[in-house]
Structure 1
Amino acid sequence: MSYSANEIAALAQKAARGAGFPPHQAQVFGAAAVQFLAGGGEPQALLDALSDPGDSPILRLPLLVEDIRRAVDLAGPRITLTLQSGDEALAPAYARLAGLHIAQAELGQSEDGLPRLLLETDPDRDGAAALPPRIAVEPPLMNRLSSLAARTYVPASDSSRSAGAGAGDIDND
């Protein structure tokens, strides 16, 4: 089934919050998940990232976006950034969030075996490439994202309703 970029971003963000990630990292993950899936990324990489809120690319890769902006200002359009092991799958998707036109993103390794992200930006073109209007997502991924997102919902109870949760009497026909 296909979904809009906004639907995927919102659900991925809620799933990250439900998995225990901080709000900012969850928000950036939602945007990166869209880039990742639009680029044909393997859904398992998203599920793996959500599995450990103590040690995950979701915690580290938002810093990559800031590093890319600084590196381009300092070094020019061709930059190489060292990644932490395990961040390779999602790093190119996060790189696309830097607001630069990325002509080429390539993963490699340094002499010491650390993963590296090689980027070539095009300063003559504005922003990131446009996303497709709809993105195909397999049901197992959507089901897992939905189940993690459901952890953020307020349980239905008389006390939660009296505090303002749910639809009001006017909202129900």
Structure 2
Amino acid sequence: MTWSFDAFAGLAARAATAAGFPDDRAQTFGRAAAVHMARGGDSGAIAEALRDPADSPILRLPLLMHDLMRAAQISGPSVALSVLPADRALAPDYAELLPVTLRDVTIRSGTEKGPAQLRATVTEDVAEEPDAKGIDVPDDLVETLSRLAEREQDAPAAP
């Protein structure tokens, strides 16, 4: 199924909110999920991120974004930051949401000598908005996100 960037980001954000994530994290996740799918990413990474609101890339990766910007200010444009194995799939997509342009974004696999790393070069260029063309999303992912989002709508209103 083909979705617009904003429509898919909204669905993913609603699903994250219904799964128990804070609203600001859910909104960021929605945009990162849309970037991920627009780049042809694995839909399983999106579903997996929603499984545990106490231990998820949805909670950690916004902090990585902050750390990436701070590291670039301190050490210069080439940055390498450690990434947990569970965060590897979505880390580049979160990095794409930063208000700067990144070049050479890669994930280097962890080894016994060290953890996985996100490597990037931060430029002074103004970041472009993600491409708004259609995003192909597998039906099973749409079903999963829709089921979660419906739980939010069905929840009783707070008194």
> How does the TM-score come out when normalised to structure 2?
0.90
SS in 2 for 1:41: coil
Instruction: Assess if the C-alpha contact under 8 Å between 1:19 and 1:53 holds in 2.
Output: yes
Give the match for residue 170 of structure 1: none
Shift of 1:129: 6.0
Q: Distance in 2 between matches of 1:107 and 1:11?
A: 27
Larger Rg: 1
Which runs of at least 4 in structure 1 moved beyond 6 Å after TM superposition? none
SS in 2 for 1:101: strand
Give the match for residue 115 of structure 2: 114
Q: Distance in 1 between matches of 2:79 and 2:155?
A: 48
Segments of structure 1 that go 5 or more residues without pairing to the other structure are: 164-173
Q: Distance in 1 between matches of 2:119 and 2:16?
A: 27
Instruction: Assess if the C-alpha contact under 8 Å between 2:57 and 2:86 holds in 1.
Output: yes
Instruction: Assess if the C-alpha contact under 8 Å between 2:6 and 2:132 holds in 1.
Output: no
Using the TM superposition, name which of 20-29 and 68-77 deviates more.
68-77
Q: Distance in 2 between matches of 1:155 and 1:62?
A: 27
Shift of 1:17: 0.9
Shift of 1:112: 3.4
Segments of structure 2 that go 5 or more residues without pairing to the other structure are: none
Q: What number of residue pairs does the alignment pair up? A: 157
Q: How does 1:129-148 map to 2 (within 5 A)?
A: 130-148=130-148
Q: Distance in 2 between matches of 1:92 and 1:77?
A: 16
Shift of 1:111: 5.9
Give the match for residue 13 of structure 1: 13
Q: CA RMSD in A?
A: 1.9
Give the match for residue 51 of structure 2: 51
Using the TM superposition, name which of 65-74 and 141-150 deviates more.
65-74
SS in 1 for 2:80: strand
Shift of 1:76: 1.7
Q: Percent identity?
A: 38
